[in-house]
Every structure is written in C-alpha cells, then in structure tokens.
Amino acid sequence: MQTDQIQPELPTDGLEVKQWKTRRKGDLSIWDPSIIRRAIPDSFKKLDPRVQVKNPVMFVVEVGSVVTTIEFVRLLFARPTATLDRTHLNFEIFFVLAVAIWLWFTVVFANFAEAMAEGRGKAQADTLRRARTTTMAKRLACPDRFGKVEAVAAPELRKGDLVLVEAGEVIPGDGDVIEGVASVDESAITGESAPVIRESGGDRSAVTGGTRVLSDWIVVQISANPGETFLDRMIALVEGARRQKTPNEIALNILIAALTIIFLLVVVSLEPFAIYSGQAVSVTTLIALLVCLIPTTIGGLLSAIGIAGMDRMVQRNVLAMSGRAVEAAGDVDVLLLDKTGTITLGNRQATRFVPLRGVEERALAEAAMLASLSDETPEGRSIVALAREKYGFTDAVDPTAMFIPFSATTRMSGVDMHGASNGTSSAHAIRKGAGDSVAAYVAEYGGTTSDELKTIVNGIASAGSTPLVVAEVRSGVNGTDGHAQVLGVIELKDIVKGGMRARFDELRRMGIRTVMITGDNPLTAAAIAREAGVDDFLAQATPETKMKLIKEQQTGGRMVAMTGDGTNDAPALAQADVGVAMNTGTQAAKEAANMVDLDSNPTKLIEVVEVGKQLLISRGALTTFSIANDVAKYFAIIPAAFSITYPQLQALNIMHLTTPNSAVLSAVIFNALIIVALIPLALRGIKYRAIGAGPLLRRNLLIYGIGGIIIPFAGIKAIDLILQLLHLTLG
C-alpha cells in the first residue's frame, strides 16, 4: 500500500501499465475428437455399479437396465400362450429389448457427459505433467551463490533446501527467491510466453517448480515437498482426481434423490392399483415409467456441470483450490478491489498544466516537456504526451541538454541546457518536483514563491491529484543576473482504467457492491472512488482495517471476495469467502487464497463471479427442465400402460402416439437423447446475464421451465413418427 503522503514522481510500484485480457487456455472445442476418443471407453468403464451407486438417480436407471435385460432373456425362452400369440410375443421381445438398450444408453450417455467434462481436465493435466520432468537441481549448503553445489534429483528436495538455478535451467520446485534476480519463463503454468521478473524480497519472490530461468541466476529456498507442489495440486485439480462434491451439489443431490424415492413409490404402488383394476402392468413398462419420471436429465449431468465449472475457471487461467470456492463466487455480495493496478492504471498521469499568473500555459507546457523528455517514468512520458497533444511540440531535443534524474534527497528532476546550472555561459535549467523542494530550489537562485502557488498546490492535492511544481532558472550571459521563477503546476492524476465504470455498473446490476481499497487519504480516495464509480472505499487501508472491513461485511451476512498479492494480504485473503491471489504474489498469499489467478489480473474477480453464477444457473436450469419434462412423459406412458385394462384412457394420449409400445419407447428414447442433447449446455454452462435477478429468472423460467414442459411433447411425438416410419412401432 502506498502512503497518503503526496510525493511527486513516486517510483512506480511495479505493476506494469497493461490492459488485462483473459487468455483462454487450451482451445479445445467441446467436441474435440481426442477428448471424445477418450470419453467413449470411459463411459463404459463407469458402468461399474460401484461407480454408479454414488449417483442415486443413475443407479436406479442402471438397476432398471439390468432388470429389463433379464426380462428380455426370460422372454426369449417364453412360449406363446392363449392370450399372447407368436406375433405379439415377438413384438413384446423386441419392445423389451429396445427399452433395455435405451436404458443402458441412458446410463452410458450420462457417463459420457461426465467423461467429456473430465476429458478436458485430463488433457490439460497431460500438458502440465510434461512440465514436471525430473530435473537435476544444484543444492547449496549455504545461501551463497558461489557456495558448494551438490547435484540432486528434484524429487529429493525437501522444504527448506536451497538451490541455485541459472539461466537455461528449470526451477526444480516451488520456493521463494532469497538471492538474485532473474527473468523466468512461466509459460508452462500460465500459458503466457512473455517472461516475468522474479527477485528476492518483496512481493515477486515466489517461483513455481517447472518454470524456466531465462537469464541471470537466483537462489531459491524450496517451500514445498515433492507431491505437494503447486504443479502437483494443479494437476490433481484439473484432473478432478480429488473432486469433492460441493455443498450446493450435495443439497441438489438430496433433492433429486428424494424425487427418485417419491417416483419409486409412485411406480411400485401403481402395480397393486393396476392388478386391482384388472391387469398387471409389465415390469418393462413400469421401469420405463420410473426412469422417465425420475430426474435423469439433471441426475446424469450434475457432476459434468460441476467438473465443467472448475474447467471454465482453468480456461480463464484461474486455479480454484476447491469447487466450494467456485460455488461461493456466485454468491459474492461485496468485491474488495485494490485501487492501484485494478481500478487505476497504477501510475499518475499528467492531465492539466496550471500556469501562475503572468506565465503562459504554453511556456509552462514547453518547460515541463523539456524537463521530461528524457524522463522514462510513466509520469514523465505522460507529461510529454500531454504537452505535445496540446501544443504540437516537435521532437527537437537540445543536444546540450543534460537530464537530472529524480533523487530521493532533492525530490526533483529536470534538465540543464547550455552547460551547467551554476555554469558560466547562458544557461537554462528546469526543475519539476514537490512544492517545497522546488520552492527551496528557486529561493537558492534568488527567486520567490507566492501564495498563489500554495493555493494551486493545495487545490490539486485536495481533488485527489498530485501537484508537480515546475520552475526555471535562466542565467544571463555572464551568469550574474540569474532569474529564477516558478512557472506553474502540472496536475498528475490517478487515471481510472477505461471501462471500469461500466464494469462496476454491471456488477451493481448483478447485485454486487464494489469497495475500493487504497492507502490514499480519504479525500483523494473519495475523488477517485467517485470517478471510478465504485460503491464505497476504504482509505488509508492497513491489513488490520482491511480485515475489519471483511469481518464486518460477513457479520452482516454478506459474502466477500478480494484479490491480493502481498504477504500482508494473506490474512484478509484467508478471511474472505473468495480470495484470489495473483500468481505473481508471494507464497503466503497463494497459500491463504482459495484461488490463484495465473494471469495476475486483478479484475479477474469479475469473471470468477460470472463463472460461479454460471455454474449455479446451469444446475438450476437443468433441474427445472428435468422436472418440467415429467408432464409430457406422464401423458405418453400412462395411457399406454393401461391400454388393455382401460382403453378409454387413450383420451389422455393427447400426442396421438401410434401404439402403446411406441409410446413407451418414444418416451424412453427421448429421455436418453435429451441427456446427449444437453451435454454442450452442461459443459459450456448457461450464460449469465447481469440483468437483475427478476428478469433473469423470468427468462430462464421461460426457457427451461415452460420449454421443459413443451419440448418433450414435440420430441416424443417426433420420435414416435420416426419409429412409425421405420416400422418399429411394435404393435
């Protein structure tokens, strides 16, 4: 955090000026052939009852498949009876076979959805594994670059070991740089090819095993034992090997298990009613009815949705340490965002020249530009840019100009032309810097400063900007009648990143409040908060006040998300419900957070929230769709099931399905195919729109609720027509 003291030309705090864009990793389309090739055998392997029993809905379907298959075998050996001649027996055999096959397909399709979701993760895990090649490490006995080096295999390194990594070598494990500075290629982890700087001390000391040092050398203290490294965790995560059901997923499982029990009761009790009414319903039809009524659509796709949600985070280069965190992201009510680098560009930029009375603005601008021509800091460049933009100055640089860089003692920078400032011939010196330093400088050359300057400086400071005073000293031909005067003030402003206001507006429409965290004084903070359009701000923030703010919000029932990178952010990251650490951050921050953003993009939180919401919406929409489907299936199967006992029930056959057998079969086929049809939706997720909960609910209810009632009517009818075309109506 920066202090609230206003300093001119404060060195940039390390965050490059960069418009963040999320790179999508792994351009695998949903139907990538390599994933499908892998998913097909997997979906058959998952038929193992020990796997299926974890999913109550699909387990019931599998048991139904087994029973109908047995029924089919039994019928093969059955003989025609008085009531059932050979033709009808054959119809019955084919009917049972068809139902059995489609029930098996239902299970396989659900498995396929899950395998597809996992497949994408596995493909990514393979890429990551390649980075985990066994390397040899140079272990140091003492933290000295030139100390004795011992060659050991990377897996033998333990926490606390010191290793030397030189240009061209792979960093053997996670750790902190304790000596040296190097550029590191982290593309294996982040996918970003531009190298990053890693140096000892500060917030950029963490290095990840598997990345490569490109230049220079570093001494790394290993911070993770083999098997616990970031890379290992990442592989486990994307593979879904340690996937645990998330709280909401468990709750949803309870609901669909309960619905399964209810419909099991419905179907089991139907048989005594049917026997009382005259004739038992065949086991096959009862099972078909059961499978159609229980929520197979959501039951089959639920785990795929969860895996795909994690995967979408990975695609956005965010590593969620748990599915729980992804889910929590959808619930976030308050976002805490650091001002610097997130809301503002991270650098102050010149926005205005304020000349003193009697000085032309053009003269001030020219002086400011000359003083900054060789100033390579972002502030300096912005001054040049502003002056050129306003007055169209050319690039002409005085060959005699000598640039005086900023120093902490003088707190000024500037330029001397035609010799030295206290030189002999005609000289022209320009200084820019903090008000009091420049005033002292002018006084040294006999100039004075007025109250007017003070007013301007204070005015700019209180508006949240930084005043930079410009003065010049001109000496005569003899260097005697020197003339020193203050020209005016440059206003340096914290520039709010483009498009932030729109994003905050969008967040507000999502129902999320944004709070800006800054070390600035309240006045400055308020000005920037107003400009950026955040809902609230925390000025003069310290780790303690940040923590307090989070706890306050949580006590009020709100879910808090924040980003951070420094070690002092760690407690707050741990306290927040969703803590996203920057990959460039320290090990402590990454440990404390429940997500790591490999792009180190502070605005990524917004996307994280969207992914979380998408995950929940997908679940809700498919649950609603699944339950709404039951209406049509009831009208398809019930009249068919009792076609012999009560032919009058054909009045309920409002879809005019051809025969009882084709009606039941069409419903079962629809039920199986709808799972496949919805796989892309489950994997991609349903788009979240920040239009407020009411309109969003109306929209989704129309599509998945009303649509869920109507679509199966059309679908079952269409399948029945196809069966009719193929002469497969079996009756």
Residues tagged active-site: 338
Minimum Å gap between C-beta 516 and another protein is 19
Minimum Å gap between C-beta 657 and another protein is 16
- Host H or E run for residue 98: helix 86-131
Q: What phi, psi does 32 have (nearest 5°)? A: -60, 130
Strands 578-582 and 560-564: parallel
Minimum Å gap between C-beta 277 and another protein is 5
Minimum Å gap between C-beta 614 and another protein is 7
Beta strands in 372-465 (DSSP E): 402-404, 412-417, 427-433
Tell me whether residue 449 or residue 514 sits nearer to another protein (CB atom). 514
Tell me whether residue 269 or residue 400 sits nearer to another protein (CB atom). 269
- Output the CA–CA distances (angstroms, integers) from residue 673 to 178, 444, 578, 676, 677, in the order listed: 58, 87, 37, 5, 6
- Output the CA–CA distances (angstroms, integers) from residue 480 to 475, 694, 696, in the order listed: 7, 78, 77
Q: What phi, psi does 729 have (nearest 5°)? A: -75, -10
Tell me whether residue 145 or residue 698 sits nearer to another protein (CB atom). 698
| Cβ proximity of 181 and 197 under 8 Å | yes
Tell me whether residue 406 or residue 635 sits nearer to another protein (CB atom). 635
Minimum Å gap between C-beta 644 and another protein is 13
Q: Residue 580 pairs with which residues in a beta bridge? A: 563, 595
Tell me whether residue 309 or residue 566 sits nearer to another protein (CB atom). 309
Minimum Å gap between C-beta 275 and another protein is 7
| Cβ proximity of 220 and 178 under 8 Å | yes
Contacts of 387 (CB under 8 A, 6+ apart): 353, 365, 366, 368, 369, 393
> Which tokens go with 207?
């290095």
- Output the CA–CA distances (angstroms, integers) from residue 168 to 183, 214, 462, in the order listed: 10, 5, 51
Tell me whether residue 72 or residue 625 sits nearer to another protein (CB atom). 625
Minimum Å gap between C-beta 572 and another protein is 20
Buried b (16+ CB within 10 A) or exposed e, 519-532: bbbeebbbbbbebb
Task: Compute the residue count for the chain.
Answer: 731
Q: Is the torsion defined by CA of 516, 521, 525, 526 positive or negative?
A: positive
Tell me whether residue 408 or residue 651 sits nearer to another protein (CB atom). 651
- Output the CA–CA distances (angstroms, integers) from residue 627 to 126, 622, 634, 677, in the order listed: 38, 9, 12, 17
